[in-house]
Amino acid sequence: MIEIRYQTALVVPPPYAHFFTIILQPAGDGRLAIDVTMTYTDRDELDEDEITGEGFTGNDDFKWAGHLPSVWEQTVNDLVRKTQLKAFDEEKLSDNQDYFLVTLENKMQGNQSGMPSHRPEWQFLSQELIQAAYEVSGKEKPFEVNYIEINSGARTEVHMTASFSRREVTLETRHSNQTHSKTVPWKELKSMMEVFYGVDYNSEDALTDLPRKSGRYLNLGTPEWYDTSTAIIGDEGAISKLRKLLVRLTQP
């Protein structure tokens, strides 16, 4: 059994302040049993508009127990094998330090709790586990990216789907009535998402219908399509990275 407990630092304000608990254990059939509880705190001091204005909903708390595919058991075990737990005193945490505790249950050594080595990997794994639970429970769909290039009547379409429950990224490219499909290594998804969300998108300039005019358009799984030449905001370095990634995705 593995238990992961996290709480944002005391200085983090609502609606961002939250804590979560993740409990994992082998299901015996290759799958991984998971129990997730996510609770957002201190929101009663905010108006609903203040919450939704930050991209949240009126109720983002989440509690779900179920199973993840077998690929998850191996992923978790690989991280556990190289992890050591360091004792820490919660009372010594400052107001700007978050709380992160991992408990490992071992039949030979009993329960061990502490701050894990490879902490960034554990925190990133926790976010992937939560996203996988959202997906399997039906709370959210897999992450999607759609990209369209239209030039002199020629049209190239890219559709990327990242399933956190299966830890699988699939890429489909259509051009000149030909379709190419391939899988992308899961480890590449993190860097790609950093590029996609390393810029801002101007919703006022977004299209809500499928683009038909010449141009390059990006859609991140929502109804909005963003013209990459006019509706993307950010420093030139971040925008350049995004454009290079989009060119790479169009390659068969």
Name the burial class of residue 242, with classes exposed (0-12), middle (13-18) and buried (19+) by CB atoms within 10 angstroms of its CB: buried
User: Which one-letter amino acid corresponds to residue 178?
Assistant: Q
Which two tokens mark 52?
């939704």
Phi, psi of 132 (to 5 degrees): -65, -40
Phi, psi angle pair for 135, to nearest 5° = -70, -50
State how far the Cα of 178 lies from the Cα of 187, in Å rounded to an integer: 28
pTM: 0.91
Is 131 in contact with 140 (CB distance < 8 Å)? yes
Residue range 147-204, pLDDT digits in tens: 999 998 799 999 999 999 999 999 999 998 899 999 999 999 999 999 999 999 999 9
What is the rounded distance in angstroms from the CA atom of residue 168 to the CA atom of residue 68? 13
Q: Do 104 and 85 meet the contact criterion of CB atoms below 8 Å apart?
A: yes
The vertex-136 CA angle with 29 and 57, nearest 5°, equals 150
Q: pLDDT at position 88, please?
A: 84
Q: Are 48 and 88 in contact (CB under 8 A)?
A: no
CA 214 to chain centre: 32
Q: Is the pLDDT of residue 131 over 90?
A: yes
For the residues of 92-127, what is the DSSP string, one character each?
Answer: G--TT--EEEEEEEETTTEEEEEEESSHHHHHHHHH
pLDDT tens string 103-129? 998 776 678 999 999 999 999 999 999
- Tens digit of pLDDT for each residue in 78-89? 999 999 999 888
> Residue 172: what pLDDT?
97
Are residues 40 and 18 in contact, defined by beta-carbon separation less than 8 angstroms? yes
Q: Which amino acid is at 183?
A: T
pLDDT digits (tens, 9 = 90+) for 41-62: 999 989 999 999 998 998 999 9
Q: Which pLDDT score is estimated for 152?
A: 84
